[in-house]
Amino acid sequence: MKKFFKPTQEWQHLLLENPLTLLAIGLFILILFTALFGPLLVPFDPLESNTANALQPPSAEYWFGTDQLGRDIFSRVIVGTRLDLAIALAAVLLAAGLGTTLGLYAGFYGGHLERWIGRGTDIIMAFPLFVLAMAIVAALGNTVANVVYASAIINLPFYIRLIRSESAVVKSAGFIEAARLCGNANPRLIWAQVFPNVLPPLVVQMSLNMGWAMLNAASLSFIGLGIRPPTPEWGIMVADGAQYIVSGQWWVAVFPGLALTLVVLCFNLLGDSLRDIIDPRRRT
Amino acid sequence: MHSSKLQLIARRLIGALPSLFAVILVTFLIMRILPGDPAAFFAGAAATPEAVEEVRVKLGLDRSLPAQFWDYLTDLAQGDLGQSFTTGQPVLQELVDRLPASLELSALGLLLAVMVGLPLGVLAATRPNSFADHACRLLTTTGVCLPTFFTGLVLIYVFYYLLGWAPAPLGRLDLFLTAPERITGFYLIDSLLAGDLEVFWASFTQLLMPAITLGLFALAPLARMTRASLLGVLGSDYIRTATASGLSRTTVLYRYALRNALLPVVNTMGMVFSYLLGINVLVEKVFAWPGVGSYALEALIASDYAPVQGFVLAMALLYLLLNLSVDLVNTLLDPRLEKNA
C-alpha cells in the first residue's frame, strides 16, 4: 500500500522547500493591508505641499524625505499603493474574464470561430505590446480608465491562447461526453464542465500577470500617460524624482521605485509558488 | 541550399503579408478613433465652423473611412507619413534621422544580455545548485521585477553622481564633441569609419549605461529559457548515448546539447524584441536619448498625432521584420522543419 501525504504535510513540505513562498505570502498580506488601510494611517496629507520644507532627506519626521513641493514621500508611497493595485487588478480581471470566455468558446467549438479569434490575437501580438498600450491610451484619451483598457487589451492574447489550448484538450475527455449524453447543452458543458478544469492554470496566469500589469501601469504614468499629477502614484513619483537624481536627491525617486519593485516581486513569487502547488509539472 | 528550404522561406515571407496589412489597418484605425474632432483641433480654438469644415475637407476627413484608408495606403506607398505640426518636418524624415540612435541602443543592450544571459543559463543548467545556479535564479526572478525606468535612475545615481565613472546622462555624445559625419547614423560605426577614436570612446561610454539598463531586463527571459531548455536537452536519450559513447563533456555539451537547446531560445527572442522596443521608450526618456521613442513622447505630450502614428507603425514594422528574421534563422538552423515542408 502506497503511503500518501496528508494535505497539511504536503503544504509543510512545499513551504519548507521554498522559503520564498512564506516571504511572498507575508509581503502580500502587508501590501493588502497597506492598500486597504494605508490612507487612514499616514502621518501627513499626501497632497499638502510646503515649499519651505522641499527636498528634505529622510529623517525621523519624514521617513522617506520630502519631494520638490515639500510633500511627505512616505505618505505618498503608502497612499499610492491602492491606486496602482486597483489599476492592475482591474486590468487583469478584465483581460482574464474576456480572454477566458473567448478562449473557452474557441477551444470548445473550434472551426471558424477559433480561426477568427486566433487572428484577432495574432493582430494584437503583431505589435510591440507596450507601444500598442501607448497608442491606445493616446487615442482613447489620457484617463485612468483608458490605462486599464489598454493594459487589458495587451494582456488578452495570453489568456485566450492559454485557455483555448486547455479547453481544446478537456473537451474530448470522457466526462464531457458523459455530461453531454446526460442531456447538457453546449453552453452548460462549457461553463459547468470545461471552465472548472481550466481554473488552475488561469489562477497561476493571473497572479503572474498582476506584477506585469503593475509595471505596465506605472510605466505608462512614468511617461505621462493616464494618471495626472498631483495624484500620488508610483510611476509619476519616480518621474518627478528623475530630475533630482543627478543632483543627489535620491530619495524622491528611489522609495516609490522600491515600493513598485517589491510589489511586483511579491506577485511574481506568489505566481511561481502557486504554479508549483497547482501544477507541479511546470516547475522550472 | 535545398529547394524545399527556399520554398519554406518563400512561404514565410508570403505568410508575413497578412500581418503587414493588419498592422497598417490597426494603426490607421487607432488614430482615427481619436477623441474630439481632429479638424477642429487643427483649425485652432478661434476658428469659425466654416474654417473647421475647410480644414476637414483639406485633411480628407469628410470622406468615408475606406476612402480615407485608401488615401493612407497611397501616402504610405509614397513614403509619406504626414507632417509633425510642432516641428513642421515630414515624419518619415525625422524617424529616419532618429532611428539609428534607438537601434544602436537596443542592439548593444541585446548584445550585453546575450553575452551574459546565455553563459549564465548554460552554467546554471550544467551545475545545478551551484553558485551560478543560484545567481541565475536570483537574476531571473528579480530582473523581471525591476521597473526599467527605476533601474536606469539607480544606475545614474550610483555611477554618475556617487562614483563619477559614467558621463552625464544627457544624450548620445558629450556637448564638447562633434558628432561623426553621418554615414550609417550609428555613432560607434561612423566614428570608427572616420578614424576618430576619441569620439568612439565618448559615444561608447555614453551608450553603456542605457544599454545596461535595457540589457538587465532582457537578460532574465534569456537566461531562464537557456537554462530550462538546456536542462531538458541534457536529460534526453541522445545525450546519454553520446556520453556513453565516450565523447568528452565539452563535445557533448557544445556540439550536441547546446545546438539543440538554442532553438527555443531563438524563439523567445521574438518576445524579447517586443519588450525591448517598448522599453526603449522608457530608457530614452530617462537618459534623454534622442531616439524615436523620445520623439514619439514629445509628440504625444503636444497632442501631435502624425508622429505618434508614424512611430507606432515603424515599431510594428520593425517588430514584424525581427520576428520574420527569427523565423528565417530557425528555418536555416533546424533541419527538421525541412521535412515538414
The pLDDT tens digits of the residues spanning A184-208 come to: 888 888 888 888 888 888 988 898 8
Split at pLDDT 50, 70, 90, the class of A11 is low
pTM above 0.90, yes or no: no
Q: Is B50 exposed, middle or buried (0-12, 13-18, 19+ CB in 10 A)?
A: exposed
Question: Distance between the two ends of chain A, CA-based, in angstroms?
Answer: 31
Q: Contact, B155 vs B213, CB < 8 A?
A: yes
A239 has a pLDDT exceeding 60: yes
**Per-residue model confidence (pLDDT) at position B341:** 43
ipTM of this complex prediction, to 2 decimal places = 0.85
Query: Which chain B residues have a beta carbon less than 8 Å from that of A122?
Result: 19, 22
Q: Tell if the CB–CB gap between A126 and B228 is shorter than 8 Å.
A: no
B91-340: which CATH topology?
MetI-like fold (1.10.3720)
Would you say B191 and B180 are in contact if contact means Cβ atoms under 8 Å apart? yes
Across the interface, do B228 and A260 touch by the CB < 8 Å criterion?
A: no
Q: What is the DSSP annotation of B119-138? A: HHHHHHHHSTTSHHHHHHHH
Residue whose grid cell is 446526460 = A182
Chain-chain contact of A128 with B168 (C-beta, under 8 angstroms): no
Q: Quick one: how far is CA A123 from the chain centroid?
A: 23
Domain locations along chain B: 91-340
Mean pLDDT of all residues in B242-269: 84
Identify all chain A residues contacting B305, using CB atoms and an 8 Å cutoff. 138
Q: What share of chain B is helix, strand, coil (3-state, %, to 5)?
A: 75, 0, 25
Predicted confidence band of residue B2 (pLDDT cuts 50, 70, 90)? low
Label residue A81 exposed, middle or buried (CB < 10 Å: 0-12, 13-18, 19+).
buried
Confidence of residue A153 (pLDDT cuts 50, 70, 90): very high
| Mean pLDDT of chain B, nearest integer | 82
Interface of B with A in 249-268 (CB under 8 A): none
Rounded Cα distance, B228 and B265, in Å: 10
Report pLDDT for A86.
92
Respond yes or no on whether the N-terminal peptide bond of residue A230 is cis (omega within 30° of 0). Answer: yes
pLDDT for the residue A97: 94
Cell reading at B191: 566614428
Average pLDDT over residues B33-47: 63
Residues 6+ apart with CB under 8 A from B79: B92
Average pLDDT, chain A: 84
d(CA A110, CA B211): 44
Q: Which residue in the set B145, B156, B285 is minimally distant from A211, CB to CB?
A: B145
In the prediction, which pLDDT does A75 show?
Answer: 84
pLDDT band at B11; cut points 50, 70, 90 = confident
Q: Which pLDDT score is estimated for A9?
A: 67
- Cβ atoms within 10 Å, residue B227: 28
Alpha-carbon span A181 to B341, nearest angstrom: 41
CB A51 within 8 A of CB A71: no
Is A145 at the interface with chain B, CB within 8 A?
no
Q: B316 and A127 in contact by Cβ < 8 A?
A: yes
Q: Do A128 and B274 touch (CB under 8 A)?
A: yes
pLDDT of residue A241 exceeding 60, the answer is yes
CATH number of A72-283: 1.10.3720.10
Higher pLDDT, A16 or A139: A139
Judged against a pLDDT cut of 50, whether residue B315 lies above it is answered with yes
Q: Is the Cβ pair A123, B156 closer than 8 Å?
A: no
Q: Tell me the average pLDDT across A261-283.
A: 79
Quick check: A56 pLDDT over 80?
no
